[in-house]
Chain A
Amino acid sequence: MQKVKRILYSQKIAPYVFVLPFVLTFLVFFLYPLTTTIKMSFQDILPGQEQWVGLKNYQRLLTDKVFGQAVFNSLRYMVITCALLIPFPMLFAYMISSRSMKFAGAFKSIYFVPVLSSVVVAGLIFRMMFAEQPDAMMNSLLALFGQPAIWWLKLEYPSLLALVLLCCWRWTGMNMLYYLAGIKSIPTELYEAADIDGASAVQKFTKIGWPLLKPTTIYVLTISIYAGLAMFTESYMVFGNNASPHNYGLTIVGYLYRYGFEKLRMGYASAVGLALLVGALALNLVQLRLTGTIGKRGDK
């Protein structure tokens, strides 16, 4: 007993004891499930029996039109949210951080409030604002312009608008914060030098702000690509469940959920998940390579 204690307390073994909780969690709840899902993707699983089927699940993915639609929906959502949630928060953060901006603190606090809401609460609010009743907010807005009420969540683009607006509402404030943190780290001397050279506000942004905020942009882009491609709960809440009309709100993770938890076809669901994993990793590797974060070391 004394001997065990001495070993555990030695400087050689102690570090392993410290990282043990992570290693255990990693093995049990990450690595093992990951290998299980890889294994399952080559199997046909019905309750009580599993059968090796080789690449059949993957072959099926390639010809599955509904999966194609899910991929298209997820990609489209990802591209739109990246296109909105990077440039605008960056500009807002840049404009609000000027010293001549009044009440900046109050504004920042307000923009952050939606980040505190859960997807359930945000989903409830947006579903009810985009409700089909003529008195609901978005239909009242249409009425202001003399347009008839529409069934927002049963139509393709109106329901996409609901999802995109929900995402923008929740995350604009968060992304602004990322950019504000990045702006803080820009040395003020650069702006002083630009002032001496007589640079305009626009020039200061394009020549100083934009290039020096690149690391922040890459970070926000990386997490936005993941979040966009893995979107599921937003659609689940806005449409009320995983079955949106004509699959307009179906995402890749929604498809995984449909096969894994609703149809109990875990082999096929695993293949969907792994396709998403490979796709997301590949996309981010390409992105990081294009933005010069990885590779091309000599260029700088």
Chain B
Amino acid sequence: MTTLETKTSRMPKSKRDYSPAARIFLLLFFTALAILVMIPLIAMVLGTFKGGAEMWRSGLNLKPEFQMWSLDYWRYLFTGITVDGELLPHKYFTWFGNSLMITVIQTVLSLFISAFVAYGFEMYHFKGKNAIFLCVLMEMMIPFEILMLPMYVQANAMGLLDNMWGIMLPFLASVSAIFFFKQYLSGLPKDLLDAGRVDGCNEYSIFFRIILPIMGPAMSSMAVLVGMGAWNSLLWPMLVLTSMDKYTLPIGLNTLFTPYGNNYDLLICGSCFAILPILLIYIFAQKFIVEGMTAGAVKG
């Protein structure tokens, strides 16, 4: 019995081996694929050193053209001093700040509210529960794009246009987060509730004091998913926001798509810099991103 156990514990996830020739082929194949995947990013990074004028002249390509390289375009992004040495202030970091603020607020509120709702769905039996949960599934099934027009009319009627809260409010009770948290909570013993009640907790302090603190892993997975969505979101913020000072980063970058002034310098460096925060989180929290994003596909 013990020998069998040690044997299975040494077993890899799936027992499939390839011949040496196949191994080399696969290694080459996946290396080629990795290079293909990296090409657009390499072209972008090269572009940040070649500058906007060059991008206007010849698009993005993989020619290094070291003689053109300059850090002036990055300097313009950070200091507002253009390649020609003039001071030409831009709004990139206003947008960056707006995006950062919206991302943080939306992530925190959305996780909290979604966990709150998921707890209600998972831990209680109540009249109408199935009907309400059906609504969660229905909302998951209908793409946002179909409802963007009436949602816009609604936001307008509520005075939420050109307002940070107008961007966030419709998505605070996030159905995918509710669904994920509900799955997570279903793995917890229901005795926790009764133990809490015996200890004198009321229904809400059970959630706040007992359940919320043990939801850390699930929260981290959803945090990156919700945060990434908020950071990268384009369509709804573009409909809601009208004044330039309130723009989020994706909308702001989109307005730079005209080769006017030093726009292209800012666009290429700014686009590159916009990926950076997410890339950093990805490097340090890859596991959580992967878990959060595949949450819908695997049950249990």
Binding site for B on A (CB under 8 A): 9-12, 14-19, 21-26, 28-34, 36-37, 40, 92, 95-103, 107, 109-122, 124-126, 128-137, 139-140, 169, 172-174, 177-178, 181-186, 188, 191-192, 195, 201, 204, 216, 219-220, 223, 226-227, 229-230, 232-233, 237, 240, 253, 256-257, 260-261, 266, 269-270, 273-274, 276-277, 280-281
With a CB–CB cut-off of 8 A, which chain A residues contact B38? Answer: 110, 113
A46 to B91, CA, bound (A): 36
Q: Is the interface of B mostly helix, strand, loop or mixed?
A: helix
B149 x A261 contact (CB < 8 A): yes
A29 x B169 contact (CB < 8 A): yes
A37 x B234 contact (CB < 8 A): no
Task: Pick the residue among B23, B29, B62 that contacts A102 (CB under 8 A).
Answer: B23
Other than the given A31-B135, A33-B147, A277-B142, 15 more pairs (CB < 8 A) read A14-B120, A16-B120, A18-B124, A25-B173, A95-B26, A98-B14, A103-B27, A110-B37, A115-B293, A118-B274, A119-B250, A134-B58, A135-B61, A139-B59, A261-B152
Task: Pick the residue among A32, A109, A114 that contacts B154 (CB under 8 A).
Answer: A32
> A-B pairs with CB below 8 Å: how many?
305
B129 x A15 contact (CB < 8 A): yes
For B143-167 the 0/1 string (1 means CB < 8 A from A) is 1011111111110000000000000
Task: Pick the residue among A116, A120, A136, A226 that contacts B59 (CB under 8 A).
Answer: A136
Task: Pick the residue among A22, A130, A253 that contacts B117 (CB under 8 A).
Answer: A22
Which segment, of B41-49, B66-74, B80-88, B214-222, faces chain A? B41-49
A99 x B60 contact (CB < 8 A): no
A223 to B16, CA, bound (A): 30
A273 x B146 contact (CB < 8 A): yes
B172 x A21 contact (CB < 8 A): yes
With a CB–CB cut-off of 8 A, which chain A residues contact B172? Answer: 21, 25
Asked if B257 lies at the interface with its beta carbon under 8 angstroms from chain A, I say yes
A122 to B250, CA, bound (A): 11
With a CB–CB cut-off of 8 A, which chain B residues contact A17? Answer: 120, 204
User: Which residue of chain A has the shortest Cβ distance to B13 in the bound complex?
Assistant: A184
User: Which residue of chain B has the shortest Cβ distance to A251 in the bound complex?
Assistant: B145
Asked if B11 lies at the interface with its beta carbon under 8 angstroms from chain A, I say yes
Query: Can you pick out 23 interface pairs between chain A and chain B where the beta carbons lie within 8 Å of each other?
Result: A25-B169, A26-B173, A33-B151, A37-B146, A40-B150, A95-B26, A97-B14, A102-B27, A103-B27, A103-B30, A113-B37, A119-B234, A129-B43, A136-B59, A137-B39, A137-B59, A191-B14, A191-B15, A229-B143, A232-B235, A261-B152, A273-B146, A277-B142
Are A137 and B62 also in contact (CB < 8 A) when A29-B154, A270-B150 are?
yes
Shortest CB distance B177–A (Å) = 11
A92 to B294, CA, bound (A): 17
How many B residues are at the interface, by size bracket?
A: 35 or more
Task: Pick the residue among B29, B126, B275, B290 that contacts A121 (CB under 8 A).
Answer: B275
A22 x B297 contact (CB < 8 A): no
B47 x A128 contact (CB < 8 A): yes
B14 x A129 contact (CB < 8 A): no
Asked if B136 lies at the interface with its beta carbon under 8 angstroms from chain A, I say yes
User: Which residue of chain B has the shortest Cβ distance to A107 in the bound complex?
Assistant: B30
Query: What are the 9 A-B residue pairs with the smallest beta carbon separation, nearest first?
Result: A18-B120, A136-B59, A131-B59, A135-B58, A33-B150, A118-B232, A15-B124, A14-B203, A128-B60
Are A9 and B14 also in contact (CB < 8 A) when A26-B139, A277-B146 are?
no
User: Which residue of chain B has the shortest Cβ distance to A240 in the bound complex?
Assistant: B257
B150 x A173 contact (CB < 8 A): no
Task: Pick the residue among A99, A102, A116, A192 that contacts B228 (CB under 8 A).
Answer: A116
User: Which residue of chain B has the shortest Cβ distance to A281 in the bound complex?
Assistant: B141
Are A121 and B274 also in contact (CB < 8 A) when A17-B120, A25-B170 are?
yes
